[in-house]
């Protein structure tokens, strides 16, 4: 085999041992960005329920980019749904803070459930 056919790896040295610089994705910036709640959920769901797709995305170097896309899409959709639900079910006109908080929590949990089913738990 020709040496040019093999990808070149870079190494870093720690205590006299060389370790390869491996990346999960082809985009180093995507690996450095922390995952939020929905990104972690999507990653775990993909790993546990669709292991073949997880490995394919990992080998192609697209895994973290896809997961960050899912995270961004979920956050945008959650905001849209929360606004729509708040328009359909307006805040109660009361001084009771607990009642108002309960109302907002119900809207948030409904929107989150829809986002989980539509976006986060959908295989990519």
Q: pLDDT tens digits, residue range 58-114?
A: 888 889 999 999 999 999 999 999 999 999 999 999 999 999 999 999 999 999 999
Q: For residue 8, what pLDDT is reported? A: 66
pLDDT in tens, 49-67: 999 999 998 888 889 999 9
pLDDT attached to residue 98: 95
More confident residue, 119 or 31: 119
Rounded to two decimals, the pTM is: 0.71
The residues, ordered by sequence, that sit 6+ positions from 31 with a Cβ below 8 Å of its Cβ are: 23, 24, 25, 64
């Amino acid at each position: 085999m020709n040496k040019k056919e093999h990808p070149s790896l870079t190494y870093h040295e720690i205590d006299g041992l060389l370790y390869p610089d491996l990346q999960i994705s082809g985009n180093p910036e995507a690996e450095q960005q922390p995952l939020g709640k929905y990104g972690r959920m999507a990653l775990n769901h993909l790993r546990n329920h669709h292991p073949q797709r997880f490995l394919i995305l990992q080998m192609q170097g697209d895994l973290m980019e896809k997961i960050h896309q899912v995270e961004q899409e979920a956050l945008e959709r959650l905001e849209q749904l929360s606004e729509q639900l708040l328009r359909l079910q307006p805040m109660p006109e009361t001084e009771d803070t607990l009642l108002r908080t309960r109302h907002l929590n119900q809207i948030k949990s409904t929107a989150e459930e829809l986002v989980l089913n539509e976006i986060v738990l959908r295989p990519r």
